[in-house]
Amino acid sequence: MDHFSYKNGEMYAEDVPLSRIAREVGTPVYVYSTATLQRHFRVFSSAFEGLNALVCFAVKANSNQAVLATLAAEGAGADVVSIGELERALKAGIPPQRIVFSGVGKKPSEMRRALEVGIKQFNVESEPELEALNHVAGEMGQIAPVSMRVNPDVDAKTHHKIATGKSENKFGISWAKAPEVYREINNLPNVRATGVDVHIGSQLTDLDPFKLAFEKVVSLVKDLRSEGHAIEHIDLGGGLGIPYDPDAETPPSPVDYGSMIKQVLGDLPCSIILEPGRLIAGNAGILLSELLYVKQGEDRLFYIVDAAMNDLLRPAMYDAFHNILPVAEPGDNARNASVQADFVGPVCETGDTFAKARKTVPMNPGDLVAFKSAGAYGAVMASTYNTRELVPEVLVNGSEYAVVRARPTLDDMIGMDTVPNWLTR
């Protein structure tokens, strides 16, 4: 459920008409709903009632300070994958004790900063990384809390670019090797094993792969505990999918996901960490865009909008589906006159296509459209390709809204370059 709906003949974000935001801020622009972020966080968290669970929002999905501060106020922790994300999480008020640090390529400088602020744990993905962390922690006279990310070799049944749990993927240590690596941790003076970590992929719409992976992790944790390792928590990663296309996808609910986890854990005396990103932010945001031209091609209709692949990369990168709705509520006449159109952006690449042969209503230049489910992996993946201004972001809260990342000026953007003096003397 989200808070983008038609009222008084047009689409609103909570109590703010999208047409007002388009008029006052310009398009393209991301619009997020506070109420939806809060609702998703609460629904997700309450699925784990009865367990000792920490919900660490995957900052990579949406790292805007206003979004993070909204979630911090709900008690969220953070899953970060870079020093940049760590600083963003801290600045937004997420306490370091609720931050976990994931990622296959942490640099010593990043480890140092994370140790300095005292994060909850490092999710370590290889033996060389473990040794590097041991070294950095040693230099600082600290003992780093570690969970090894294990690769359960499970097919997540999602898009191949966002599946992470097969042995051919770069993530985690091999399943078979895990006991040996935990023994190695015991021999290293400046790391301490506190947990086990797993994350098999993103946008999973089936519980079975999760269940297979979690069962493996639970059996590993039991083995490790019986070997004397003080495994206190299990990090189950993120990945629960959302319904991008309500007609085609019915991902499991957070409640079903939570029940499955409770069942798999049984009476194992461990706390859990969850790292949802998309589930919290995905349907809490839209990308608002204006239709520039309606072009009749030889065999198809093109709707050319002012958003492009640099603003929302998912369709070009993963062939992702985003529902595209007119902001003006279509009346019966428009609905009956439905057309098929390719929604494309202005960037000079054929891949700058948001949807092909999409059934929609007849629209005219100047009409606004909303790309739904764009709150996760939207703005964070945006670029300035084709020297297009980095797309701004707006957060709505009831009847008010704020620009939470302004559109840069072209001078700001071009001013980031410098011309070396041999070209100007």
Give me the DSSP letters along 37-55.
HHHHHHHHHHTTTTS-EEE
Residue 279 binds ligand LLP (CB under 6 A): yes
| Residue among 199, 216, 233, 372 that touches ligand LLP (CB under 6 A) | 199
**Interface with ligand LLP includes 106 (CB under 6 A)?**
no
Does residue 302 interact with ligand LLP by CB under 6 A? no
Contact call for residue 63 and ligand LLP (CB under 6 A): no
> CA-based angle 175:176:179, to the nearest 5?
95
Applying CB under 6 A, which of residues 14, 79, 153, 367 lies at the interface with ligand LLP? Answer: 79
Rounded Cα distance, 270 and 268, in Å: 6
Q: Which pair of structure tokens corresponds to residue 315?
A: 């369709």
Examine residue 239 and tell whether it contacts ligand LLP (CB under 6 A). yes
The answer to whether 172 contacts ligand LLP (rule: CB under 6 A) is no
Mask for 134-153, x = binds ligand LLP (CB under 6 A): --------------------
Q: Is residue 314 involved in binding ligand LLP (CB under 6 A)? A: yes
Six token digits for residue 22: 């388009």
Cβ nearer to ligand LLP, comparing 238 with 252: 238
Work out how close the CB of 113 gets to ligand LLP at its nearest, in angstroms, rounded to a whole number: 19
Nearest to ligand LLP of 6, 385 (CB atom): 385
Number of helical (H) and strand (E) elements in the chain, helices listed first: 14, 21
Q: For ligand LLP, which stretch binds (CB under 6 A), given 218-226, 257-265, 276-284, 406-414?
A: 276-284
Helix, strand or coil for residue 422? helix
Contact 270, 196 (CB under 8 A): no
At closest approach, how far in Å is the CB of 212 from ligand LLP? 17
Size of the site for ligand LLP (CB under 6 A): 21
Query: Is residue 77 part of the contact set for ligand LLP (CB under 6 A)?
Result: no
Task: Pick the closest to residue 107 from 135, 79, 65, 88 (CA basis).
Answer: 135
Is the separation of the CB atoms in 72 and 92 below 8 Å? Answer: yes
**238 is a site residue for ligand LLP (CB under 6 A):** yes
How far apart (Å, rounded) are the C-alpha atoms in residues 274 and 300? 45
Q: Which residue among 27, 38, 102, 397 contacts ligand LLP (CB under 6 A)?
A: 102
Contacting ligand LLP within 315-344 (CB under 6 A): 318
For residue 391, what is the DSSP state? P
Minimum CB separation of residue 149 from ligand LLP in Å reads: 7
Q: Is 125 in the site for ligand LLP (CB under 6 A)?
A: no
Does 47 engage in binding with ligand LLP (CB under 6 A)? no
- The single residue of 348, 416, 419, 423 carrying the catalytic annotation is 348
Angle formed at CA 157 by CA 220 and CA 165, multiple of 5 degrees = 35
Min dist CB 181 to ligand LLP, Å, is: 18
The closest alpha carbon to 251, from 28, 44, 20, 16, belongs to: 44
C-alpha to C-alpha distance for 34 and 40, rounded to whole angstroms: 10
Based on its alpha-carbon atoms, the radius of gyration of the chain, rounded to whole angstroms, reads: 23
From 53-61, 89-97, 289-297, 405-413, span contacting ligand LLP (CB under 6 A): 53-61
Whole-angstrom CA distances from 43 to 37, 276, 280, 351 are: 10, 12, 9, 36
Q: Does 276 bind ligand LLP (CB under 6 A)?
A: yes
User: How many C-beta atoms lie closer than 10 Å to residue 413's C-beta?
Assistant: 14
Instruction: List, in order, residues 6 or more apart from 338 with CB less than 8 Å away.
Output: 359, 360, 361, 362
Site residues for ligand LLP, 376-405, by CB under 6 A, read 376-377
| Part of the chain binding ligand LLP (CB under 6 A), chosen from 195-203, 214-222, 303-311, 416-424 | 195-203
Q: Smaller CB distance to ligand LLP: residue 258 or 326?
A: 258
Our finding on whether 277 is near ligand LLP (CB under 6 A) is yes
Which DSSP helix (H) or strand (E) runs through 259? helix 254-265
56 is catalytic: no
CA distances from 223 to 97, 145, 192, 281 (A): 27, 19, 17, 36
First-to-last alpha carbon distance for the chain, in angstroms, is: 60
Residue 28 or 172 having the CB closest to ligand LLP: 172
Please give the positions annotated as active site: 348
> Which residues of this protein are in contact with ligand LLP, per CB under 6 A?
58, 60-61, 79, 102, 162, 199, 202-203, 237-239, 275-279, 314, 318, 376-377
